[in-house]
Amino acid sequence: MRLSALTTAAVGLTLALGSVPARAEPTQYPLVIENCGVEVRFDKAPSRTVALGANSAEILLLLGLEDRLAASAFWPSKVMPELAKANEKVKVLTVEIPTFEAVLAQEPDFVAAQTVLLLGPESKVASREDFAKLGIPSYLSPSTCTNRQDTKDIYGSRSELWNMDLVYKEIDDLSRIFDVQDKGQAVIADFKAREATLREKAKARGKDYSYLFWFSSPSPSADAYLTGKLGPGGFIADLLGGRSAIQSEAEWPTLNWEGIIAANPDVFVVADLDRNRWELDKPAAKIKFLTTDPAVSQLESVKQGRIVVMDGQAMNPTVRTIRGAEQVEKQLEEIEAKSK
């Protein structure tokens, strides 16, 4: 049987690591999956899925399921380049938050969501119960349901450091729902190999940097949206041998610039976003502010040019997080090479 290029590459990587994943057993329907405290039943593989959130859509595309993906919505950044061709087959409802009616108009037999913002008790789209009443099973990313909802922020906070195991669980769950387990295990193997490579590079570099991940701000005078110490930003910092400069446990804390100056990060990581909601969604605008503001520009990290650009979607707990860490790693290597 002919393997896809992705599967072949992943098998090669696992061979290098000394083991090959066993061939997965095919899904036996009806399948019942426990997801975020909810039991979800599938009598067969879905054929018309609506993905709420770029991460949900990109996992399905990585699994080769574009023909079963009826539509998607909520794209802070454009689809990953390697998935662009497959994504051309999929209808985009909106790059922002769709209405419940717009989702139902696609006649979905399954809805997968990236975050509680898109599928939860306070969702701007609908709750899981709303879909269940119509006989439509739903799935919520495990990364988002591990959050404590004890803050005023819909995203909540974390009690322990997020890691890619939750994304691997999501890939595995979705591959079982669609009966493409072999493809799922190949995708997971590829990500694990890349994660291991980053840890080895960080160990060799031996830099204990503190990182600040700046997603965006409505304006230069407004508070900045940052990643908390236990979210993907904290994970990337740890993966690269460092730590988060922001110590909040909130998933998306906001902080004024006096607080950011006091945090004094060794590295500024600025998000690259395609949505263009605010001027500071653009990395060039962020960098201009950092390098020209009378106070912020005096930070040692800014003076030393330790400002790197990362895909903003990678600051969410997604399949892009490893890709974002790779972007930061590559730019830091270039910065350090120039400083020698």
pTM above 0.85, yes or no: yes
Q: pLDDT category, 16, cuts 50, 70, 90? A: very low
Domain 23-162, what architecture?
A: 3-Layer(aba) Sandwich (3.40)
pLDDT at 310: 97
Query: Among 73, 134, 86, 127, which Cα is nearest to 108's?
Result: 134
CATH 3.40.50.1980 fits 207-339, yes or no: yes
Question: Tens digits of per-residue pLDDT, 247-277?
Answer: 999 999 999 999 999 999 999 999 999 988 8
Which pLDDT score is estimated for 275? 84
- Pairing mode, if any, of strands 224-226 and 254-255? antiparallel
Where are the extended beta strands (E) located within 24-173? 31-35, 38-42, 49-52, 69-73, 91-94, 110-113, 138-140
Confidence of residue 23 (pLDDT cuts 50, 70, 90): low
Helix spans in the chain (H)? 5-16, 54-62, 84-87, 100-104, 128-132, 142-145, 165-177, 181-205, 232-239, 257-263, 283-292, 300-303, 321-339
Do you know the residue count of the chain?
A: 340
Domains of the chain: which residue ranges?
A: 23-162, 207-339
Instruction: Note the pLDDT tens digit of each residue in 69-116.
Output: 999 999 989 999 999 999 999 999 999 999 999 999 999 999 999 998
Tell me if domain 23-162 and domain 207-339 are identical in fold.
yes
pLDDT tier, 156 (very low <50, low <70, confident <90, very high otherwise): confident
User: Tokens in use for 257?
Assistant: 């610039």
Q: Retrieve residue 100's tokens.
A: 């419940």
